[in-house]
Amino acid sequence: MSVSAQKGSMYLGASSISFWGDNNIGTGFFYSQKGDISITSYGISPEFGYFISDKVAFGFIIGISGSKTENRYYYGYMEDDPLFPGTVVEKEFTFRFNPYTRYFLIREGSFGLYLQGGLNFEVETEGKFNKFGAFMNPGVSYAISSSFTATASFGNLGFQTISEQDAYASTTYVFGLNLNMSTLNFSLSYTF
């Protein structure tokens, strides 16, 4: 890590930087079209952290994201009727809050290896989902300069509860290790 990432240092950045993804995009923009279906997603996930010692940082991420799916279709009332166009539009908006603690196992020069543990609170307005979970994942950091640091993490070990608030209110409990590529996270931060 850079010299500036010492006790008392703070950092501000963008988490989950991506321009290719799905409805769970972190920071970035995504557009996809296949046949008559188009998906537009956007998101921003600012991150703030504070080093309480040279090896331990507390931080949090606040994320907002949204998506719009358009499905164009054609229908007719009878076999000989002309086909009439129609469009089904679905929108989603998600807010999330992720406080975490980051512990550096190795800090040599510009390179760092850390273990991060935290909580996840997420609310999806359209689908009426509420999510709560705890996670732990490894990551690496590289100080590009004395002020800018790039980080990457992959995988999650933890649990999550997903509560659906529709007419069939239900709760799903998930526990395990997730090594899906959707857990790959890139971040860039400015240390001051």
pLDDT at residue 81 tops 70: no
Instruction: In whole angstroms, give the CA distance from residue 47 to residue 6.
Output: 18
Those residues whose C-beta lies under 8 Å from the C-beta of residue 29, and which sit 6 or more positions away, are 19, 41, 42
Instruction: In whole angstroms, give the CA distance from residue 14 to residue 149.
Output: 11
Q: How far is CA 135 from CA 109, 150, 175, 176, 192, in A?
A: 28, 21, 10, 10, 27
The domains of the chain, with CATH numbers, are: 10-191 (2.40.160)
Q: How far is CA 157 from CA 11, 117, 123, 134, in A?
A: 25, 9, 21, 8
Reported as a single tens digit per residue, the pLDDT across 8-39 is 799 999 877 655 444 455 677 778 888 888 88
Assess contact for 175 and 159: CB atoms under 8 A: yes
Token reading at 191:
């240390």
Instruction: In whole angstroms, give the CA distance from residue 11 to residue 3.
Output: 13
Local confidence band at 7 (pLDDT 50, 70, 90 cut-offs): confident
pLDDT, position 27: 73
pLDDT (average), residues 59-80 = 77
Instruction: In whole angstroms, give the CA distance from residue 144 to residue 7.
Output: 19
pLDDT (average), residues 156-177 = 84
Token reading at 145:
């300069």
Q: 3-state class of 183 per DSSP? A: helix
- 75 versus 176: the higher-pLDDT residue is 176
